[in-house]
Amino acid sequence: MRHLIDPMDLSVEDIDRLLDRADDIAKNPEKYQEVCKHKKLATLFFEPSTRTRLSFEAAMLELGGSVLGFSSADSSSASKGESVADTARVIECYADIIAMRHPKEGAPYVASQYVNIPVINAGDGGHNHPTQTLTDLLTIRREKGRLSNFTIGFCGDLKFGRTVHSLIKALSKYEGINYILISPEELQIPEYLKKDVFKKTRDAIFDYGVNDIPNIKESRLAYKAFGKDPSRYRVSSEALIRRIGQGKGLYEVNTVVDVNNLISIEAGFSVGSYDCSKIADQLIFRIGRDGETYKGIGKEEIKIDCLPVLADAEGAIGSSTSDSERAMITEDATEVLTLIYSFSDSQDLEKAMEYGKKYLEQYANASDLHCWIVE
């Protein structure tokens, strides 16, 4: 059982599935004439409504169900002081699903916490209106053919308009959405939407650009092929570039690691360095095994199953995501192995090796450097 309280409760996949079903109902209404047979919808409208209430009632009747409820708080026990929770508990005895509109933000959510039947938010104060949002998304998809990469304008009461708030939230889940907001100063969009939703949108736009950077793009594809979600397990070069994009500085560790970070930013490759005195002579490049972990540098145990890892006889020492503490570089290291992880047949690899050699000689006083490519 699921409630529909806030558009953010729905994933992109959920939305797409609901819109596909809506299109199918419109094209083939006869298929759905009895899907709600013997089911009852309770419309609990604590404030006046024409379109939303009649839409719910008509939809339930079209699906073969029946409707009961009230159209204003005055015609319910709320007028005598009954709480939303108590009203919902009573209605649960009579209906199979609840559609609630209420002037107070959060009232449908409260109702959902006290019943064992689905609750649909039909509008709560200036907060959310998820079913109107789904209708808007369906219209946009029909007209534009997509729900990403377009500019949308909102004009009027952006402060209290729940339909605006809901639609902005839902669109924040899609890539490439640009917003034009037009309103008097006293009716501007609420601060929580600016901070939460628009920040996510800016991050999403930034994410889209990072994902297309050469060598990072190929790394993400490789991770998918290995069975790892590249948005959860990022290659270290991607993580560094995102950190810069968020206005954060780079970590200052030691000269060798700082050089690695510089190479990663310039070329898009993940780079790891290991203290040769702490690893065995024979190294192999393999995929992390089921349940395999190691202690990361400055981190707890890191799951490395399905990740590309560098390992010796004792186990993995590093990966293109995060290295282990066992072979980490310290100021005492005298012999260092630096590995540039590449997942593509890229000419940039040789350039990255040249960068690394130049920077290590210049900033770390490194000598007796040897470079080679292992395929």
Q: Which residues are catalytic?
A: 51-52, 80, 101, 129
DSSP letters along 129-140, please? -HHHHHHHHHHH
The residue type found at 209 is: G
251-256 contacts: CB < 8 A, separation 24 or more?
253/329, 254/329, 254/330, 254/331, 255/363, 255/364, 256/329, 256/333, 256/336, 256/338, 256/360, 256/364
> Which amino acid makes up residue 12?
V
Residue 371 in 3-state DSSP?
coil
> What is the identity of the amino acid at 117?
I
Distance of CA 113 to the CA centre of its chain: 26
| Phi and psi torsions of 155, nearest 5° | -130, 135
Cβ distance 171 to 152 under 8 Å? yes
Find all residues with CB under 8 Å of 138, minimum gap 6, and list them: 19, 22, 23
Give CA–CA dist 200/228, Å, rounded.
23
**Cβ–Cβ under 8 Å, residues 67 and 61:** yes
User: Does residue 41 sit in helix, strand or coil?
Assistant: strand
d(C-alpha 332, C-alpha 231), whole Å: 35
The size of the chain, in residues, is 375
CA distance 223 to 220: 5
Alpha-carbon torsion, ordered 114, 120, 126, 132, to 10 deg: 180
